[in-house]
Amino acid sequence: MTSELRNVGQQTVSNVRTYVSPKILSHHKLTNFDYNKYFYTPRTLFTMMIVLSVFYFFSFGWSEELAVTMRPYYHDPKNPDVFEQWRWPIAFSCLTIIAFGSTHFPDSWVKRPHPVFWRILLGVMLCYTTFMTIVFMLPINEARWIFKLFHPSFGVE
């Protein structure tokens, strides 16, 4: 390790806090991983199989059942639901970006709770940034209209 010294006070000098003596290293097995090594290797094919199986599952009839199940949450008798056919494809495209990001985005310097959590959060932020870029580029009336994606009563003046 390093044998750098740091200045602690006026007359004292001690080792750097990251220093581990050779005596400790010879008796203890110190690893650089906070979790099992299995969780640090990317599982690209496994993630692809999971995402494709979810898409396959919802592509043969389950998407209609999902839309029927979620319809009471988006139903507004005063405003028609203009995004009824577009809501779930957009949600699944965001899921694809998040799944891609969980395996391919780089790790950050934050290690807790787990690096995959931060990569998924980065994927969510990428989806949000893309959506907000689209909204900011639209004229104000069309930008209000696109918020009907979340609920039919949104975007009404």
Output the pLDDT for position 121.
94
Distance CA 96, CA 91 (A): 9
pTM over 0.85: no
Instruction: Look at 131 and 7; give whichever has higher pLDDT.
Output: 131
Distance CA 148, CA 152 (A): 5
The burial class, CB within 10 Å (0-12 / 13-18 / 19+), for 123 is buried
pLDDT digits (tens, 9 = 90+) for 1-53: 555 655 555 555 555 566 666 676 666 665 565 666 666 676 778 888 888 88
Instruction: Look at 30 and 102; give whichever has higher pLDDT.
Output: 102
pLDDT digits (tens, 9 = 90+) for 54-82: 888 877 877 777 778 877 877 777 777 77
Output the pLDDT for position 36.
67
The residues, any chain, with a CB within 8 Å of residue 52's CB and separated by 6 or more, are none
Q: Is the pLDDT of residue 99 over 80?
A: yes
Average pLDDT over residues 110-133: 90
